[in-house]
Amino acid sequence: MSRLAYVNGSFVPHAHAVIHIEDRGNQFSDAVYEVWGVIDGELTDFDGHLKRLDRSLSELRIRRPMTDKALASILFRMVEVNRIRNGLIYLQISRGTARRDHVFPTDTVPPSIMITAKSMSPEKAEARAQKGIAVITQKDIRWGRRDIKTVSLLPNALAKQAAKEAGAAECWMIDPDGFITEGSAANAWIVTKDGVLVTRPATNDILNGITRRIIFDLASREGLTFEERAFTRDEALAAREAFITSATSFLTPVVEIDGNPVGNGHPGSLSLQLRKSYVATAKERSRKREKRGSIWLVAR
Ligand code: PMP
């Protein structure tokens, strides 16, 4: 079966899915995106990602192309037609197509929307988590509104490439005061020697990860202590555990920072416990939905 994408109202073969050359996402990064993980056929943390999408659009004054209900049915259809059991759904909305001009086009120009789907191996992801990943650190060179999920990802791409070239999986970026902001595509966390989970507060400096917020809920439920505060590279090096969170990596332990082991150099027990809870909760939701035989729209 060939993969299908959704572009401006139509499901089209992925290989033939195109956006106009004068799309403002292409010329000005004038677009936002959202990524849902898929676990056992279920879009994870569905409402949280939808809410953040709404926020990103309103912060940039990009019109919403359709209602949440219409969008939800297309997103679920994308999972179905592409037979995604585990993987991700990517959605991008730009301010639309107009003759190149920095100034916004008139309200008659509709926003463009595109959606793609990707399968990912849960076994490979699990093996990676059980082994843990290495991260490097670099100066954060991004703009001041990292809370908006825009497609302006060049600094993130440069950081991730630097990590790859150093044999690492992620790059944690550091602000001018020496505090870690986040990873190129994930939030950054440490567990202190006292067993306290620490991650940076959700200001304009970082993307307020949906997975990050779910981990707070899970941590509370499991009686763990957490703090929202910035931490330095030195503090991370002295931490008992470290990990990253994102919709596609869930929670993945960090075992090395800039070539130095974190804790004993193996994934930490709290990190693995929280990862397990996250995956189990998502699988449980999928089982419930499959039992009902209904999709999100019918379910609420
Ligand atoms: N920070 C950045 C820069 C990201 O790209 C991502 C992944 N979208 C995250 C954090 C994690 O966000 P989420 O948990 O919503 O995937």
Tell me, what's the pLDDT at 82?
Answer: 98
Tell me, what's the pLDDT at 47?
Answer: 97
| Beta-bridge partner residues of 119 | 87
Structure tokens at 175: 């602000």
With a 6 A CB cut-off, is 132 part of the ligand 1 pocket? no
With a 6 A CB cut-off, is 44 part of the ligand 1 pocket? no
Tell me, what's the pLDDT at 252?
Answer: 98
Tell me, what's the pLDDT at 240?
Answer: 98
Show the beta-strand stretches assigned E in 164-289: 170-174, 180-183, 187-191, 197-199, 226-228, 241-246, 250-257, 260-261
Residue 129 pLDDT greater than 70, yes or no: yes
Tens of pLDDT, residues 136-150:
999 999 999 999 999
Average pLDDT for 201-216: 98
User: Which residues are CB-neighbours of 57 under 8 A, at least 6 positions away?
Assistant: 32, 63, 64, 93
**Is 283 marked active-site?**
no
Residue nearest to atom 3 of ligand 1 (CA): 185
Tell me, what's the pLDDT at 105?
Answer: 98
Helices in 166-247 by DSSP H: which ranges? 210-221, 233-237
User: How many Cα atoms sit within 13 Å of 275 on the Cβ side?
Assistant: 26
Q: How far is the CA of 116 from the centre of ligand 1 (A)?
A: 18
Residue nearest to atom 8 of ligand 1 (CA): 185
Residue 291 pLDDT greater than 80, yes or no: no
Tens of pLDDT, residues 243-269:
999 999 999 999 999 999 999 999 999
With a 6 A CB cut-off, is 97 part of the ligand 1 pocket? no
Structure tokens at 47: 């409402």
Tens of pLDDT, residues 5-18:
999 999 999 999 99
Q: How far is the CA of 149 from the centre of ligand 1 (A)?
A: 8
With a 6 A CB cut-off, is 249 part of the ligand 1 pocket? no
With a 6 A CB cut-off, is 244 part of the ligand 1 pocket? no
Tell me, what's the pLDDT at 293?
Answer: 61
Instruction: pLDDT band for 1, please (50, 70, 90 cuts).
Output: low
Element (H, E) at 70: helix 68-81
Average pLDDT for 65-93: 97
Tell me, what's the pLDDT at 107?
Answer: 94
Domains of the chain: 4-120 (3.30.470.10), 125-284 (3.20.10.10)
With a 6 A CB cut-off, is 185 part of the ligand 1 pocket? yes
Residue 159 pLDDT greater than 60, yes or no: yes
Q: Which of 55, 140, 246 to mutate to test the pocket of ligand 1 (most atoms within 8 A of CB)?
A: 246
Average pLDDT for 25-42: 97
SS3 106: coil
User: Nearest Cα to 218, choosing from 274, 159, 151, 292?
Assistant: 274
Torsions phi, psi for 172 (to 5 deg)? -90, 130
CB 38 within 8 A of CB 87: yes
Residue 126 pLDDT greater than 50, yes or no: yes
Q: Which of 131, 149, 276, 291 is catalytic?
A: 149
Tell me, what's the pLDDT at 173?
Answer: 98
Instruction: pLDDT band for 221, please (50, 70, 90 cuts).
Output: very high
Is the pTM here over 0.85, yes or no? Answer: yes
Average pLDDT for 196-219: 98
List the single range of 1-5, 123-127, 232-236 with lowest mean pLDDT: 1-5
Question: Looking only at Cα atoms, what is the longest distance across the chain?
Answer: 59
Count of residues in the chain:
300
Q: What rounded mean pLDDT belongs to the chain? A: 96
Q: How far is the CA of 250 from the centre of ligand 1 (A)?
A: 10
